[in-house]
Structure 1
């Protein structure tokens, strides 16, 4: 008997571990409910709800293959070995199959499980699945992990040209087992269920994910480069929650993009090539987790930046979290996050840079807040994005490049459509005033909308000074601990 331990791979199609398990013999699936661990990792309630909904759909799908899905509890991951050993002994499991995960806690969990199973004579098989390339296989000429994305991407493209990862075949239906599947819980203690309006934005299931990918590849991908930065337009795929939960695979995404671009990675459609590059960014940050485990420990990628004089400004932090900064594009983006569990990627950068540069508040405050609200919360991508914006990370934006949120707003939301949607109290302003209401209402601004909590010019100078005072010879050195 084989056991597939599902984690961030909630799909039947193109699932490496599932297909490998089914090929070996009769298979059972298990998922561990780990509420304490999820809380410790700041997983958002809407994310937990989304994963449970997808798990329920997957249970029905697996049932068609006569593969029962069992639900077990391991509140914290240090309890996973005992839970799995007990299940394996009950069912007479010979081998456990998993798709690899890459955070430091995930790695330690899997090592402990492997040891516990080995002590019982049970095999533990791990597979590459949520990435295109095995971490440690895309390295510099000196054998190290890349720190610069463009160099990493170049090697990835070379590898893809010589060997494109294939789609894994679906498992065939097996003979029925005398094992009944378990009911997937609708909620988990500690995580409030989100409202129906948010849930409706993100339907569960592989079919929904594949339909989104197909629509994007057919209708939008060729305009992606021009429209991906415009938050008022549907210029992005909005597949990130499905990728984070493994409801769709990066291989499926890559193949769809190549199909729409005649098999080209870097030429042909600029939009398709740009989107493929974004898939490689996702890959890059996962490899960083493995090559530089310090980022899994809430530490800056560049050690010198640990000495930045971050401000303790609880009132300003609260205003940022609640969308009360007085900067419309910032407040609109935060409201989008709070109401939908998602934020447009361009605005994630603008919002993050405002917190870390204009307010000079530690990037870890923002990283945690995002994880607590994002339906697509992913350690590698979230950490990578925040450290990029705060100039503390790998391949990060130079510290002296500080986005001006007003000019970003004017450039990417020129008509103010996005702002007016999320800040209806500003709906009467014209397209010039909408970006900076403080300039529209004389001394008193606009009723029911706050004055800016910070002077953008002075705060920019403060941030520049903070970075300039760091040891210059250390600023771009990196440790690999």
Structure 2
């Protein structure tokens, strides 16, 4: 008997571990419910709900192939080795198959499971699946992990020119086993069920993920570069939640993008090239997670920035979290996050820079808040984005580059369509006033909408001073040729 241990790979197609298990003999699938660990990782309730809904779809797909899906409880990952061993003994499992996951806790869990199983004579096989390249295989000439994205991308392109990662076929139907699938829990204690309106935005299942990918690469990818920064336009693929849960793979995305661009990833349609670039950013941050494990321990990538004099400003942090900053583009973006479990990528940078630069509040506060609300929450991408915006990370924005929320708003939501959608209280303002109601409404601003909690120019100066006062900004170690 073979056991496929499902984690962030909730799909039938192009699933390396699942295909490998099924090729070796009769297969059973298992998923571990780990609420204590999820809480420690700040996983959002809407994300846990999304996993459960996708598991339901996965159970049906596997059921059609006579592969039972079992649900087991390991509240904390420390309990995973014992729980899996017990199941393996019960089912007389010869080998366990799993797709690699990255991050300190994930690596430790998998090492512990492998050790426990092998001590009992049970094989443990792990596979490259959620990345195009295995971490540790894309390195500088001196053998270190890249710290600069453009150099990392160049090596990825060279590798892709030589060989393209192939898609893996879905397994065929196996002979029926005398094992019933378990019911998928409707909810998990500690994680509230999100609203129906949020769930409706993110239908579960591979079919939906593939539909989104097809729609995007057929119709929208040509406009991706020109429209992706405008939050009121449907310029992005809306696939991030499906990628984070592994309902679709980066290989499937890459193949679809190349197909829309006559097999080119460096030339041809700029939209396709730009989107492939985003897939490689995702890849880059996962490699950083492995090469520089401190980033999964809430540490700054650039150690010297640990000395930054962050402000303790609980009221301002709360205003940011609750969309009450008095800056419409910030508040509209935060409402989008709170109500949909997602935020437009350009706005993730704008709100992150506002928190870390204008309010000078520690990036870790923002990183945690995002993880607790994002349906596509992913440690590597979220951490990478926050550290980029706060100038503490790899290849990050120079500390003196500080987005001005007003000019970002005027540039990327010129008509105020996005702002008015999320802040209907500002619907009566014209397209000039809507970006900065405080300047429009005389002495008291606009009724019912707060005044800005911070002066943008003086707070910018405060941030520049804080960064200038850091000890010498040394490179992190290792060089990039």
Asked whether 1:95 is paired with 2:76, we answer no
Asked whether 1:477 is paired with 2:476, we answer yes
Contact 2:29-2:70 within 8 A present in 1 as well: yes
Asked whether 1:301 is paired with 2:301, we answer yes
Q: Please state how far the C-alpha of 1:366 moved relative to its aligned partner.
A: 0.1
Q: Please state how far the C-alpha of 1:131 moved relative to its aligned partner.
A: 0.1
C-alpha separation in 1, matches of 2:153 and 2:270: 16
Equivalent position of 1:170 in the other structure: 170
Contact 2:304-2:473 within 8 A present in 1 as well: no
Contact 2:32-2:72 within 8 A present in 1 as well: yes
Q: How does 1:75-86 map to 2 (within 5 A)?
A: 75-86=75-86
C-alpha separation in 2, matches of 1:428 and 1:247: 42
C-alpha separation in 2, matches of 1:52 and 1:441: 47
Equivalent position of 1:114 in the other structure: 114
Equivalent position of 1:73 in the other structure: 73
Equivalent position of 1:314 in the other structure: 314
Structure 1 residue runs of 5 or longer lacking an equivalent are none
Equivalent position of 1:361 in the other structure: 361
Task: Please list the CA deviations of residues 163-206 of structure 1 after superposition, one character each: whole Å capped at 9, or x if unmatched.
Answer: 00010011011000000000000100000000100000000000
C-alpha separation in 1, matches of 2:44 and 2:326: 26
C-alpha separation in 2, matches of 1:202 and 1:304: 40
Contact 1:415-1:431 within 8 A present in 2 as well: yes
CA RMSD of aligned residues (A): 0.8
Equivalent position of 1:61 in the other structure: 61
C-alpha separation in 1, matches of 2:203 and 2:69: 21
C-alpha separation in 2, matches of 1:31 and 1:114: 16
Q: Please state how far the C-alpha of 1:96 moved relative to its aligned partner.
A: 0.1
SS at match of 2:28: strand
Equivalent position of 1:270 in the other structure: 270
Equivalent position of 1:333 in the other structure: 333
Q: How does 1:49-448 map to 2 (within 5 A)?
A: 49-448=49-448
Q: Please state how far the C-alpha of 1:369 moved relative to its aligned partner.
A: 0.1
Contact 1:303-1:479 within 8 A present in 2 as well: no
Using the size of structure 2 for normalisation, the TM-score is: 0.99
Contact 2:21-2:97 within 8 A present in 1 as well: yes
Aligned length: 479
SS at match of 1:135: coil
Contact 1:302-1:479 within 8 A present in 2 as well: no
Equivalent position of 1:39 in the other structure: 39
Q: Please state how far the C-alpha of 1:478 moved relative to its aligned partner.
A: 4.4
Q: Please state how far the C-alpha of 1:472 moved relative to its aligned partner.
A: 2.3
Task: Please list the CA deviations of residues 145-180 of structure 1 after superposition, one character each: whole Å capped at 9, or x if unmatched.
Answer: 000000000000000010000100110110000000
C-alpha separation in 1, matches of 2:97 and 2:378: 22
Contact 2:144-2:478 within 8 A present in 1 as well: no
Asked whether 1:455 is paired with 2:455, we answer yes
Equivalent position of 2:17 in the other structure: 17
